[in-house]
Amino acid sequence: MRRVVVTGMGVVSAIGTGVDQYREAIAGAKGGIGPIETISTERLTVRTAAEVKGFDPAAHFTQTELTALDRFSQFALVAAREAMASSGLTMDETLAPRAACIVGSGAGGQLTIEEGFRRLYEEGKHRVPPLTVPRYMSSAAVSQVSMALGLKGPSFGVSSACATATHAIGLGFQMVRGGLADVAVVGGAEAPLSMGCIKSWEALRVVSKDTCRPFCKDRTGMVLGEGAGIFVLETLDAARRRGAPILAEVIGFGMSADAGDLLSPSPEGAARAVRAALDDAAIAPEVVTYVNAHGTGTAANDGAETKAIHQVFGAHAPTLMVSSTKSFHGHALGASGAIELVATVMAVHDGLVAPTLNFTTPDPECDLDYVPNDPRHEQVDVALSNSFAFGGLNAVLAVRRFAG
């Protein structure tokens, strides 16, 4: 099997549009959670989110293009353009049929759906815009990215709630490693900050009214976010031939299902996914330095994830650095795994380990090193990125520092 490396990445998030802004926020421990500004909060109980502030669609797209683009697809395209540009890859007619595109979304075009309902039920109109369906379908982002970049290989969307992007990236990794594709443009995108979506999350009673405090005793829940993360994966041999920048090597991918409760996470199910990633990478648990945790800030998730880490790593668990970047950019649902992998790649490439922000009093049941509040600068040889979704859908990626 072929070795697979990351040669490009792009990100749109509450802590910055573009990798440079994202890195600056991580290094400066500056989060993006705050009062909701993009919609009215008059009827909301939860009035805090991690929005992509100052995003001007007109700066990236023509008015004609925007008629076909929901906000989540806009995010995907901006991140994909950055990822492709940073990789230096040129798509030609020889490579295009061997270039896969897998971009997932958990919620799809929520803003388009809500706008259609508003026109029909509030304004009493009899029609919605003609491109409503291709805007809101959850595969809209992957269609737009494949068309914009000229990718003609295997292309499809993935939807597995909060594990969506990690599944998409892992599947792309497997395609390139196994020879089904030579390049894969992969990731996730989400724009769920609509009135209906936020009210739905309020009904679950898992959303914090102030901020996200993963692993803390006084945590009060998750904070919704939005954004996108996109990566360019290719074979190591191809990247070397063209002198491409190598940001990290993807070495393992693990999946599992809890096959249990729709909402309550299972430590055993999560642990199986982590072990599967380590087995796929053919590495021992002891070589892992850093874990980018799912870390939602909910009572159930954080405790279950901590137990899963103890189950897999045993005596090595207390030596791990474990952090949740959702404390920076919120929980972007189907995009979270991709936005978090940006931080994971930075850990192995730059030695920049993201902290867990807003950290207060540790929960006695959460007893690991969560890198509280301040970033660290340490060499990270191997890191994991965890994603554990509603329905018990688990996915874990393993990446390694590329040393030549």
Q: Kindly list the catalytic residues.
A: 162, 294, 331
The Cα–Cα gap between 180 and 178 comes to: 6
CA 372 to chain CA centroid, Å, is: 21
Find the helix or strand (DSSP H, E) in which 311 lies: helix 299-313
- Which residue is listed with tokens 């309902």? 117
The Cα–Cα gap between 158 and 185 comes to: 13
**Which distant-in-sequence residues (6+ apart) come within 8 Å of 325 by Cβ?**
26, 292, 295, 339, 340, 343, 354
**Amino acid making up residue 93:** E
Beta bridge partners of 235: 4
- Backbone φ and ψ for 28, nearest 5 degrees, come out as -95, 5
Sign of CA dihedral 364, 166, 342, 398: positive
- Which residue is listed with tokens 């089904």? 180
**Amino acid making up residue 233:** L
